[in-house]
Amino acid sequence: MDVNIRGKNVGITDRFESYVETKSEKVEGLLPRAQAFEVKVSRQTDRSPKNGDLVEITLVGPGPVIRAESAGADKYTAFDMAYGRILERIRRMKDRRHDRRGRGRTSLADAASNDFASVDITPAPLEVLESVATGSIPVSGQESTEEQYSPVVIRTKEFPAERLAVEDAVDQMELVGHDFFLFVEHETGKPSVVYRRKGWNYGVISLVEE
C-alpha cells in the first residue's frame, strides 16, 4: 500500500511522515488489498496558526473509497482523530459484510410493494416527492420576478449517477461518512436516496413517475 502525504501552507516533517507510515500499517493489516493511503494536511488560516490544522485521509480501493477528515490544534491531533474515524468505518464495513452473510436480500421493488413494512422504512410524503420531481423547491441564485428574503440557502451539486443495490449504497454512505447517499437503484432504475436513521437503521426514498 502506497502512503502519500501532502502539505498545504504547512510543513511536513520527517517525524510526521514516520508517524503516519507507522499508523498506516494497521490499516494495511485490516485491508491487505488497499492500494493507497493518502493524507492531506492544511493550515486552516495562515495568519492565525493557533486555529490549528485540518487533516484529510483517503483510503483508495479496491472497492469503495473511504474518507475522513478532522481539525485539531496541530497536525498530529487532527490526524489521530481522522485516523480513528477511518478505523471505525473499516470496522463498520466489515461488521455489515459479516452480518449479511447467509441472509437473503430484499429488493427495493419488493420492499416498496409492501410499503416498506418488512424493512421498517417510512416513505416520504407524496407532496415532498412531487416538489422534488417538478423542481418547485427554490434554489439559491435562481432568477425571480420578486425578490423575497429567505434564511434558507440551497446549494446544488452534480455527480455522475451510480447504479447500485440498496445495501451497496448504504456501504458507500458509511465509508464516506455522510448521512445520505444518492444513487440509481440497480434493479428498478429509479433515482433513490438512502439515509441514516437511529442505530443501524436506514431509510430509502425513491422517485416514482405517475
pLDDT at 144 over 50: no
Confidence of residue 170 (pLDDT cuts 50, 70, 90): confident
Residues 122 and 158 in one domain: yes
Q: Measured between alpha carbons, how far is residue 17 from residues 3, 7, 21, 49, 83 in Å? A: 9, 11, 6, 20, 14
Q: Locate all alpha helices (DSSP H) within 59-165, ordered by sequence.
A: 75-100, 108-113, 126-134
What does the alpha-carbon distance between residue 196 and residue 68 come to, in Å, rounded to a whole number?
A: 17
Q: Are residues 89 and 136 in the same domain?
A: no
CATH number of the domain bearing residue 131: 3.30.505.50
For residue 205, what pLDDT is reported? 86
Closest CA to 87 of 15, 18, 23: 23
Given pLDDT bands bounded at 50, 70 and 90, which one contains residue 114?
low
Region of poorest pLDDT, from 144-148, 182-186, 206-210: 144-148
- pLDDT greater than 90 at residue 110: no
pLDDT at 73 over 90: no
Whose cell is 418488512? That residue is 118
Beta bridge partners of 39: 5, 57
Q: Estimate to the nearest angstrom the gap between the alpha carbon of 77 and the chain centroid.
A: 22
Same domain, 41 and 90: yes
| Overall domain count for the chain | 2
- pLDDT tens digits along 80-97: 999 988 888 888 877 776
Q: What is the mean pLDDT of residues 143-148?
A: 52
176/130 same-domain check: yes
Contacts of 124 (CB under 8 A, 6+ apart): 205
Evaluate if residue 1 carries a pLDDT over 80: yes
pLDDT band at residue 151, thresholds of 50, 70 and 90? low
Are 42 and 123 found together in one domain?
no
Boundary residue ending a domain (75, 100, 125): 100
At 147, the pLDDT band (50, 70, 90 cuts) reads low
pLDDT band at 14 (very low <50, low <70, confident <90, very high): very high
Note whether 172 and 88 are same-domain residues: no
Q: What is the mean pLDDT of residues 39-57?
A: 77
145 and 89, same structural domain?
no
Question: Are 112 and 206 a contacting pair, CB within 8 Å?
Answer: yes
- Predicted TM-score (pTM) of the model is 0.51
Q: In what order do the strands lie in the sheet with 202-206?
A: 163-164, 180-185, 191-196, 202-206
Considering the chain, what is the average pLDDT of its residues? 76
Query: H helices within the chain, ranges in order?
Result: 14-30, 75-100, 108-113, 126-134, 166-176
8 A C-beta contact, residue 66 and residue 173: no
Domain membership of residue 134 as a residue range: 108-206
